[in-house]
Chain A
């Protein structure tokens, strides 16, 4: 088990461009989460999937953001028409949700800089 992986690790883009990030969860984990973390702050929840179903989206997730998890495996997070305020670390986490405790394991993150 290699843990949660994210690609790319770093992305620099110009304002107005679209970007897409990928997350590969730990195999057999049925839940996948996206969080955003800005400098000096804790991660903030964006959205999560159970298998392929998107179960919750934060009000932080504007209509420029879209996430998918086809076939309940990897997930992509797309940001359209990027703005400077989108600059942040985008973290992915996965978990095996069963009865009782659920432990989320985080990936290394994708650091986005919008110029």
Chain B
């Protein structure tokens, strides 16, 4: 079993929809939780960064962490075609190496 599980999709939604992306994990030592966006043939770029449990909002993006359930989520409001990409969750316990999920491929149709 992988330390971090993420549904690979693909996920297809119409423009303007609310998108929900999720990851589960098994290592209770993880304290830092991140979401990266990766366009085709590019390196990942950081979207959201959360320490421990709670919510964090940045524009159309909201990240949630529930450590008791070992579950993290990323919500995208008013999705746009430019949001079409692969979304990767990543975690670490005290900085250092990141453990990534498989990535969810998202397509937002105009």
Q: Which residues of A contact B (CB under 8 A)?
A: 4, 33, 35, 40-45, 48, 55-56, 58, 91, 97, 101-109, 111
Partner of A107, one of B6, B36, B43, B99: B43
Q: Report the Cα distance A40→B7, complex, angstroms.
A: 11
Interface size class of B (residues with CB under 8 A): 20 to 34
Q: Encode B11-55 as 1/0 by CB contact (under 8 A) with A.
A: 000000000000000000000100010000111111001010000
19 extra interface residue pairs, beta carbon distance < 8 Å, beyond A43-B44, A44-B100:
A4-B43, A33-B97, A33-B98, A40-B102, A42-B4, A42-B88, A42-B102, A45-B97, A55-B96, A56-B96, A58-B97, A91-B44, A97-B95, A101-B95, A102-B95, A102-B96, A104-B98, A106-B45, A108-B43
Q: Which residues of B contact A (CB under 8 A)?
A: 4, 6, 8, 32, 36, 41-46, 49, 51, 88, 90, 95-103
Which 3 pairs show the lowest CB-CB distances between chains A and B?
A: A42-B100, A106-B43, A45-B97
Q: Report the Cα distance A109→B42, complex, angstroms.
A: 7
Q: Which chain A positions have C-beta within 8 A of B8?
A: 40
Q: Report the Cα distance A102→B94, complex, angstroms.
A: 9
Most buried by B among A41, A42, A44, A105: A42
**CB of B12 to closest CB in A, whole Å:** 17
Closest to B50 in A: A101
**CB of B90 to closest CB in A, whole Å:** 8
Q: Report the Cα distance A38→B49, complex, angstroms.
A: 24
**CB of B93 to closest CB in A, whole Å:** 12
Q: Which chain A positions have C-beta within 8 A of B41?
A: 109, 111
Closest to A111 in B: B41
Q: Which chain A positions have C-beta within 8 A of B51?
A: 101
Q: Which chain A positions have C-beta within 8 A of B4?
A: 42
